């Protein structure tokens, strides 16, 4: 241990911000760290990341074609018929009960029941939409499939 090896505790000394344009002796005088000429050396220079120096930007050069259904697509929360067997002592199933048991994540989003697996319990199931096989399996087990 010697005086030359002493350092302040980590985090106690903050680095000061550069003082720009304060004379040539400071190291960041004259051009203030901006280089010599050009747009970025001037004050108030800003442009978008997609700016290409006046060249026609890529998003305007590329042709736009086709149709996307993304804005109009209806997304359903999916529940399989075999998952309904997990609901114990429940005769009436709806979005709230499915949310309660953790089978769907949002109670206000539409629910679709699919026909994967088998159902053994008699239930009255209310959902926004059913697949054909799901409807058959629920009715075959003695339950009802009600569409909202």
Q: What is the pLDDT of residue 85?
A: 86
28 contacts 21 by C-beta, under 8 angstroms: yes
121 contacts 132 by C-beta, under 8 angstroms: no
Residue 7 CA: distances (Å) to CA of 13, 53, 116: 10, 48, 67
Q: What is the pLDDT of residue 13?
A: 87
Tokens of 138: 């629920």
% of the chain at pLDDT higher than 90: 36
Is 1's pLDDT higher than 80?
no
Number of domains comprising the chain: 1
Beta-carbon contacts of 42 under 8 Å, excluding residues fewer than 6 positions away, are none
CATH number for 109: 3.100.10.10
Distance CA 62, CA 60 (A): 6
Tell me, yes or no, whether 55 lies in a domain.
Answer: no
Tell me, yes or no, whether 24 lies in a domain.
Answer: no
Tell me, yes or no, whether 95 lies in a domain.
Answer: yes
Tell me, yes or no, whether 110 lies in a domain.
Answer: yes
pLDDT per residue over 32-67, tens digit each?
989 899 888 988 888 888 889 889 999 999 998 999
pLDDT per residue over 3-42, tens digit each?
999 999 988 988 788 888 899 888 888 899 898 998 889 8
Structure letter (DSSP) for residue 114 = E
Structure letter (DSSP) for residue 46 = -
H or E stretch at 127: strand 124-127
pLDDT per residue over 94-115, tens digit each?
898 889 888 999 989 999 999 9
Tell me, yes or no, whether 132 lies in a domain.
Answer: yes
| Full domain range(s) for residue 107 | 77-147
126 contacts 97 by C-beta, under 8 angstroms: no
């Amino acid at each position: 241990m010697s005086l030359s090896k002493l350092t302040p505790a980590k985090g106690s000394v903050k680095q000061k911000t550069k003082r720009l344009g304060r004379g040539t002796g400071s190291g960041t005088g004259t051009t203030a760290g901006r280089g010599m000429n050009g747009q970025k050396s001037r004050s108030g220079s800003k442009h978008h990341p997609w700016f290409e120096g006046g060249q026609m930007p890529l998003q305007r050069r590329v042709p736009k074609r086709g149709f996307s259904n993304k804005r109009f697509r209806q997304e359903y929360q999916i529940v399989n018929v075999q998952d309904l067997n997990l609901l114990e002592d429940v005769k009436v199933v709806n979005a709230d009960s499915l949310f309660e048991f953790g089978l769907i994540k949002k109670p206000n989003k539409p629910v679709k029941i699919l026909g994967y697996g088998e159902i053994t319990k008699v239930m009255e199931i209310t959902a926004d939409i059913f697949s054909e096989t799901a409807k058959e399996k629920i009715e075959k087990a003695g339950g009802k499939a009600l569409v909202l």
